[in-house]
Amino acid sequence: MPYIGGHVSVAGGLHLGIQNAEEIGARAIQFFGASPRMWYAKQPSEQDVALYKEKAKASSVARAYLHAPYLVNLASPDGEMIKKSVKNLSDHLQIAQRIGANGLIFHVGSGKEIPKAEAMERAIEAMSFVLESVPGDVELVIENAAGGGQKLGASAHEIGEMLERIDSPRLKVCFDTAHAFEAGIIESYTPEHIKKLFDEWDREVGMQNIVALHVNDSKTAYNSHHDRHENIGEGHIGLLGFQNLAREARLHDKAWILEVPGFDGMGPDKKNIEILHACFQS
Ligand SMILES: [Zn+2]
């Protein structure tokens, strides 16, 4: 069974993310390394880093990723916006490297009014720069987009092009189940559609480059291009979809990270994790 977990709060200190993970039985986690609403990313102190590492080591958390702020746009028509985004992403990647996290998951962004090919050039240059600016083994992880608004990275083909052109062993991919459904690249998570989808992702991206899944049900319809997550089994993907996904052996070595609203509205919880666990037993 893969490492299953979810996005956790680190309010009050990064090490509390580990405590929050243990409380819900998460073995794979994601959190914000610094405020997701600010361009400035405060570096944790040496003490904060040591405390996090100590707690993480003693825990059953096996995979940890940071998530970048949603402000970031590496494909923006505005050069200043790209500069700020590169700086912010580099700072967050630096935090991930310092605390020994596996990587930083981020959304590439949108070229808005500029042609997609030009937006792609901008994003590729910016991603290369971020990787260069933070040496080490920490991974920069592209998340697939829900589509719409000229967003980059909604398809295997686009993400594959980024990987091929940047050609860094540290550039990886996170596959969000809700975004794929909302972007219209999988109509329903049936065994046939799942096989076809990941055959394509294997060709374009390479399954070994997918390191994590964002496991979310969708509040919005297929091809809606509208990104709204739902608890597992409560959305348009449905429980059967996740049971089918659990049978896809090519996904068993990935970190399965929930980003759901939670049954109490407090984010990923024990109940969602248990529902997901049960999908592997069905
Ligand atoms: Zn996601």
Q: What is the pLDDT of residue 3?
A: 97
For residue 46, the CA-to-ligand 1 centroid distance in Å is: 29
264 in a known ligand binding site: no
User: How far is ligand 1, taken at its centre, from the CA of residue 275, in Å?
Assistant: 19
Question: Which distant-in-sequence residues (6+ apart) come within 8 Å of 79 by Cβ?
Answer: none
User: Is the CA virtual torsion 31, 36, 41, 47 positive or negative?
Assistant: negative
Ligand 1 center to residue 143 CA distance, Å?
Answer: 7
Per run of 10 residues, the mean pLDDT along the chain (length 282 residues) is 96 98 98 97 98 98 97 97 98 98 98 96 98 98 93 96 98 98 97 98 98 97 94 98 98 98 97 98 88
Cα 164 to ligand 1 centre (Å): 23
Locate 202 and state its tokens.
Answer: 């294997």
143 known ligand binder: yes
259 CA distance to ligand 1 centroid (A)? 6
Structural element, H or E, at residue 23: helix 15-24
Distance 174 CA to ligand 1 centre (A): 8
Yes or no: say if 15 and 48 are a contact pair by the CB < 8 Å rule.
yes
Q: Is 139 annotated as a binding residue?
A: no
* Ordered DSSP codes for 233-273: TSSSSHHHHHHHHHT-GGGTTSEEEE----TTSSSS-HHHH
- Tell whether 179 is in a known binding site: yes
pTM of the predicted model as reported, rounded to 2 decimal places: 0.97
The answer to the question of whether 23 is labelled as a binding residue is: no
CA of 220 to the centre of ligand 1 (A): 14
Q: Please report the domains of the chain, with CATH numbers, ordered by start residue.
A: 3-281 (3.20.20.150)
pLDDT at position 149: 82
Provide the pLDDT for residue 1.
85
Do the annotations mark residue 107 as ligand-binding? yes
Structure tokens at 15: 């090490």
**Gap from CA of 58 to ligand 1 centroid (Å):** 27
In 3-state terms, the chain is what percent helix, strand and coil (to 5)? 40, 15, 40
Kindly give the distance from the C-alpha atom of residue 57 to the centroid of ligand 1, in angstroms, as a whole number.
26
d(CA 241, CA 190): 6
Burial (CB < 10 A; 0-12, 13-18, 19+), residue 147, is: buried
Q: For residue 53, how far is the Cα from the chain centroid? A: 21
Q: Are 108 and 123 in contact (CB under 8 A)?
A: yes
Q: Is 193 annotated as a binding residue?
A: no
Give the per-residue pLDDT at 282: 83
Please report which helix (H) or strand (E) contains residue 277, including its range: helix 270-281
